[in-house]
Amino acid sequence: MLMDSAIGHRGVAALAPENTLAGIQKAADLGLKWIELDVTLLGDGTSVMFHDPRINRTTSGRGHLKNNTLDQLSTLDAGSWFSSDFAGEKVPTLIEALTLIKKLNLSLNLELKPNRCDLKLLVEEVVAALEAAEFSDEQLLVSSFNHKALVLFRAKSGSRIGCLFESLPRNWKHKARQVDAKTIHVNARKLKEKKALEIKDAGYELYCYTVNDKVLADQLKDWGVDGVFTDNPGVLG
Protein backbone atom coordinates (compact mmCIF):
# COMPACT_ATOMS: atom_id res chain seq x y z
CA MET A 1 0.00 0.00 0.00
CA LEU A 2 1.44 3.34 -1.04
CA MET A 3 -0.54 5.43 1.39
CA ASP A 4 -2.10 5.00 4.81
CA SER A 5 -5.82 4.23 5.02
CA ALA A 6 -6.59 7.79 6.27
CA ILE A 7 -4.91 10.69 4.49
CA GLY A 8 -5.29 14.20 5.88
CA HIS A 9 -7.06 16.37 3.30
CA ARG A 10 -5.35 19.76 2.78
CA GLY A 11 -3.56 18.97 6.04
CA VAL A 12 -6.56 18.30 8.28
CA ALA A 13 -8.99 20.86 6.94
CA ALA A 14 -11.64 20.48 9.65
CA LEU A 15 -9.15 21.06 12.44
CA ALA A 16 -6.72 23.68 11.12
CA PRO A 17 -6.65 26.14 8.20
CA GLU A 18 -6.10 24.23 4.97
CA ASN A 19 -2.75 24.14 3.17
CA THR A 20 -0.88 25.80 6.06
CA LEU A 21 2.09 24.88 8.20
CA ALA A 22 -0.29 24.74 11.17
CA GLY A 23 -2.37 22.15 9.33
CA ILE A 24 0.70 20.07 8.57
CA GLN A 25 1.74 20.19 12.22
CA LYS A 26 -1.77 19.25 13.35
CA ALA A 27 -1.77 16.20 11.08
CA ALA A 28 1.51 15.07 12.60
CA ASP A 29 0.20 15.68 16.13
CA LEU A 30 -2.75 13.39 15.33
CA GLY A 31 -0.40 10.64 14.24
CA LEU A 32 -1.27 10.70 10.55
CA LYS A 33 1.35 9.29 8.20
CA TRP A 34 0.09 10.87 4.95
CA ILE A 35 -1.32 14.29 4.10
CA GLU A 36 -2.62 15.83 0.88
CA LEU A 37 -1.83 19.43 -0.07
CA ASP A 38 -2.40 21.65 -3.12
CA VAL A 39 0.36 23.49 -4.96
CA THR A 40 -0.11 26.30 -7.46
CA LEU A 41 1.76 29.38 -8.74
CA LEU A 42 1.63 33.05 -7.87
CA GLY A 43 1.92 35.71 -10.54
CA ASP A 44 5.67 35.94 -9.92
CA GLY A 45 6.09 32.19 -10.49
CA THR A 46 6.51 31.23 -6.82
CA SER A 47 5.05 27.83 -5.94
CA VAL A 48 2.75 28.06 -2.90
CA MET A 49 0.32 25.83 -1.05
CA PHE A 50 -3.13 27.03 -2.11
CA HIS A 51 -6.33 25.55 -3.48
CA ASP A 52 -8.53 28.28 -4.96
CA PRO A 53 -7.91 30.58 -7.95
CA ARG A 54 -8.98 33.50 -5.72
CA ILE A 55 -7.59 34.42 -2.31
CA ASN A 56 -10.92 35.59 -0.81
CA ARG A 57 -12.04 32.41 0.98
CA THR A 58 -8.94 31.54 2.98
CA THR A 59 -7.01 34.80 3.46
CA SER A 60 -7.62 38.38 4.53
CA GLY A 61 -7.13 39.54 0.93
CA ARG A 62 -9.29 39.71 -2.16
CA GLY A 63 -8.79 39.00 -5.85
CA HIS A 64 -7.03 36.45 -8.02
CA LEU A 65 -4.07 34.51 -6.71
CA LYS A 66 -2.23 35.03 -9.99
CA ASN A 67 -2.33 38.80 -9.45
CA ASN A 68 -0.25 38.46 -6.29
CA THR A 69 3.49 38.18 -5.71
CA LEU A 70 5.10 36.42 -2.76
CA ASP A 71 5.76 39.80 -1.11
CA GLN A 72 2.08 40.70 -1.38
CA LEU A 73 0.86 37.31 -0.21
CA SER A 74 3.17 37.37 2.82
CA THR A 75 1.23 40.34 4.23
CA LEU A 76 -2.04 38.37 4.33
CA ASP A 77 -3.54 36.43 7.23
CA ALA A 78 -4.40 32.86 6.18
CA GLY A 79 -5.60 31.65 9.57
CA SER A 80 -8.15 34.03 11.10
CA TRP A 81 -10.90 33.00 8.66
CA PHE A 82 -10.75 29.54 10.26
CA SER A 83 -10.31 30.53 13.90
CA SER A 84 -8.73 33.31 15.97
CA ASP A 85 -6.43 30.59 17.32
CA PHE A 86 -4.68 30.63 13.95
CA ALA A 87 -4.48 34.41 13.49
CA GLY A 88 -1.37 35.42 11.59
CA GLU A 89 -0.89 32.07 9.85
CA LYS A 90 0.66 32.59 6.42
CA VAL A 91 0.30 30.93 3.03
CA PRO A 92 3.44 28.77 2.87
CA THR A 93 5.68 28.35 -0.12
CA LEU A 94 6.15 24.83 -1.41
CA ILE A 95 9.71 24.71 -0.10
CA GLU A 96 8.55 25.80 3.37
CA ALA A 97 5.90 23.08 3.39
CA LEU A 98 8.30 20.40 2.15
CA THR A 99 10.84 21.37 4.80
CA LEU A 100 8.32 20.96 7.63
CA ILE A 101 6.84 17.76 6.19
CA LYS A 102 10.32 16.27 5.96
CA LYS A 103 11.15 17.37 9.53
CA LEU A 104 7.96 15.72 10.81
CA ASN A 105 8.63 12.58 8.74
CA LEU A 106 5.25 12.78 7.02
CA SER A 107 4.48 11.53 3.52
CA LEU A 108 2.84 13.78 0.96
CA ASN A 109 0.27 13.52 -1.80
CA LEU A 110 0.99 16.75 -3.68
CA GLU A 111 -1.86 17.85 -5.94
CA LEU A 112 -0.93 20.07 -8.88
CA LYS A 113 -3.53 22.89 -9.07
CA PRO A 114 -3.07 24.82 -12.33
CA ASN A 115 -5.55 27.64 -11.54
CA ARG A 116 -4.91 28.94 -15.07
CA CYS A 117 -1.18 29.30 -14.48
CA ASP A 118 1.52 28.15 -16.91
CA LEU A 119 1.48 24.34 -16.59
CA LYS A 120 5.06 23.94 -17.77
CA LEU A 121 6.29 26.50 -15.24
CA LEU A 122 4.23 24.90 -12.46
CA VAL A 123 5.81 21.51 -13.12
CA GLU A 124 9.30 23.01 -13.37
CA GLU A 125 8.89 24.85 -10.08
CA VAL A 126 7.52 21.77 -8.30
CA VAL A 127 10.32 19.52 -9.58
CA ALA A 128 12.94 22.12 -8.59
CA ALA A 129 11.48 22.48 -5.08
CA LEU A 130 11.33 18.71 -4.56
CA GLU A 131 14.96 18.42 -5.62
CA ALA A 132 16.05 21.37 -3.47
CA ALA A 133 14.32 19.86 -0.43
CA GLU A 134 15.80 16.44 -1.23
CA PHE A 135 12.31 15.06 -0.67
CA SER A 136 12.15 11.27 -0.70
CA ASP A 137 10.32 9.62 -3.60
CA GLU A 138 9.25 6.94 -1.11
CA GLN A 139 7.22 9.56 0.75
CA LEU A 140 5.74 11.32 -2.27
CA LEU A 141 2.81 10.89 -4.63
CA VAL A 142 1.91 13.59 -7.18
CA SER A 143 -1.65 13.87 -8.49
CA SER A 144 -3.84 16.23 -10.49
CA PHE A 145 -7.22 16.54 -12.18
CA ASN A 146 -5.30 18.10 -15.07
CA HIS A 147 -3.98 15.27 -17.23
CA LYS A 148 -1.66 17.51 -19.21
CA ALA A 149 0.02 18.57 -15.96
CA LEU A 150 0.66 14.92 -15.13
CA VAL A 151 2.06 14.25 -18.62
CA LEU A 152 4.45 17.20 -18.20
CA PHE A 153 5.39 16.06 -14.70
CA ARG A 154 6.08 12.49 -15.86
CA ALA A 155 8.47 13.85 -18.51
CA LYS A 156 10.47 15.61 -15.77
CA SER A 157 10.26 13.18 -12.86
CA GLY A 158 10.17 9.51 -11.96
CA SER A 159 8.08 10.15 -8.83
CA ARG A 160 4.88 8.18 -8.34
CA ILE A 161 1.75 9.60 -9.92
CA GLY A 162 -1.93 9.31 -9.08
CA CYS A 163 -4.67 10.08 -11.60
CA LEU A 164 -7.39 12.19 -10.01
CA PHE A 165 -10.96 12.05 -11.32
CA GLU A 166 -14.30 13.52 -10.27
CA SER A 167 -15.89 10.37 -11.66
CA LEU A 168 -14.17 7.57 -13.53
CA PRO A 169 -14.03 8.31 -17.30
CA ARG A 170 -14.25 5.58 -19.93
CA ASN A 171 -10.64 6.15 -20.96
CA TRP A 172 -9.22 6.11 -17.42
CA LYS A 173 -6.91 3.16 -18.15
CA HIS A 174 -5.40 4.96 -21.14
CA LYS A 175 -4.81 8.09 -19.05
CA ALA A 176 -3.26 6.05 -16.24
CA ARG A 177 -0.95 4.15 -18.57
CA GLN A 178 0.09 7.36 -20.32
CA VAL A 179 1.65 8.70 -17.11
CA ASP A 180 2.55 5.32 -15.57
CA ALA A 181 0.19 6.03 -12.66
CA LYS A 182 0.28 3.86 -9.55
CA THR A 183 -2.96 5.06 -7.95
CA ILE A 184 -6.44 6.19 -8.98
CA HIS A 185 -8.30 8.81 -6.93
CA VAL A 186 -12.07 9.25 -7.28
CA ASN A 187 -14.83 11.26 -5.60
CA ALA A 188 -16.27 8.89 -2.99
CA ARG A 189 -19.82 10.02 -3.74
CA LYS A 190 -19.46 9.21 -7.44
CA LEU A 191 -17.87 5.78 -7.09
CA LYS A 192 -19.85 2.59 -7.68
CA GLU A 193 -18.77 -0.82 -6.44
CA LYS A 194 -18.39 -2.13 -10.00
CA LYS A 195 -15.95 0.65 -10.87
CA ALA A 196 -14.01 0.12 -7.65
CA LEU A 197 -13.55 -3.55 -8.54
CA GLU A 198 -12.55 -2.61 -12.09
CA ILE A 199 -9.79 -0.35 -10.78
CA LYS A 200 -8.54 -2.92 -8.27
CA ASP A 201 -8.65 -5.74 -10.83
CA ALA A 202 -6.49 -3.63 -13.15
CA GLY A 203 -3.79 -3.54 -10.46
CA TYR A 204 -4.11 0.04 -9.22
CA GLU A 205 -4.43 1.28 -5.68
CA LEU A 206 -7.68 3.18 -5.17
CA TYR A 207 -8.23 6.22 -2.95
CA CYS A 208 -11.41 8.24 -2.46
CA TYR A 209 -12.04 11.86 -1.46
CA THR A 210 -13.37 13.53 0.67
CA VAL A 211 -14.69 11.13 3.32
CA ASN A 212 -15.84 12.51 6.68
CA ASP A 213 -18.37 9.81 7.46
CA LYS A 214 -17.62 6.42 9.06
CA VAL A 215 -20.48 4.60 7.33
CA LEU A 216 -19.20 5.69 3.92
CA ALA A 217 -15.60 4.89 4.87
CA ASP A 218 -16.58 1.38 5.94
CA GLN A 219 -18.53 0.80 2.71
CA LEU A 220 -15.57 1.91 0.62
CA LYS A 221 -13.27 -0.40 2.57
CA ASP A 222 -15.63 -3.29 1.83
CA TRP A 223 -15.29 -2.46 -1.86
CA GLY A 224 -11.50 -2.77 -1.64
CA VAL A 225 -10.69 0.95 -1.50
CA ASP A 226 -7.17 1.32 -0.09
CA GLY A 227 -7.66 4.63 1.69
CA VAL A 228 -9.63 7.85 1.98
CA PHE A 229 -8.83 11.53 2.12
CA THR A 230 -10.49 13.09 5.15
CA ASP A 231 -10.80 16.52 6.76
CA ASN A 232 -11.16 14.94 10.19
CA PRO A 233 -9.68 11.48 10.75
CA GLY A 234 -11.24 11.25 14.22
CA VAL A 235 -14.74 10.73 12.79
CA LEU A 236 -13.68 7.61 10.91
CA GLY A 237 -13.11 5.65 14.12
Residues 173-198: tens digit of each pLDDT: 999 999 999 999 999 999 999 999 99
Q: Residues 6 or more apart from 136 whose CB is under 8 A from it?
A: 102
Compute the Cα dihedral for 224, 234, 136, 127 and give only its sign. Answer: positive
Q: Where are the domains of the chain?
A: 6-41+106-236
Catalytic-residue membership of 185: no
Catalytic-residue membership of 174: no
- Domain 6-41+106-236 fold is TIM Barrel (3.20.20)
Tens digit of each residue's pLDDT (9 = 90 or more) over 122-169:
999 999 999 999 999 999 999 999 999 999 999 999 999 999 999 999
Q: How confident is the model at residue 66 (pLDDT cuts 50, 70, 90)?
A: very high
The whole-model pTM stands at 0.98
Query: First and final CA of the chain: distance in angstroms?
Result: 20
Q: What does the chain look like in DSSP terms, one character per residue?
A: --S-SEEEETTTTTTS-TTSHHHHHHHHHTT-SEEEEEEEE-TTS-EEE--SSBSTTTSS--SBGGG--HHHHTTS-SSTTT-GGGTT--PPBHHHHHHHHHHTT-EEEEEE--TTS-HHHHHHHHHHHHHHTT--GGGEEEEES-HHHHHHHHHH--S-EEEEESS--TTHHHHHHHTT-SEEEEEGGG--HHHHHHHHHTT-EEEEE----HHHHHHHHHTT--EEEES-GGGG-
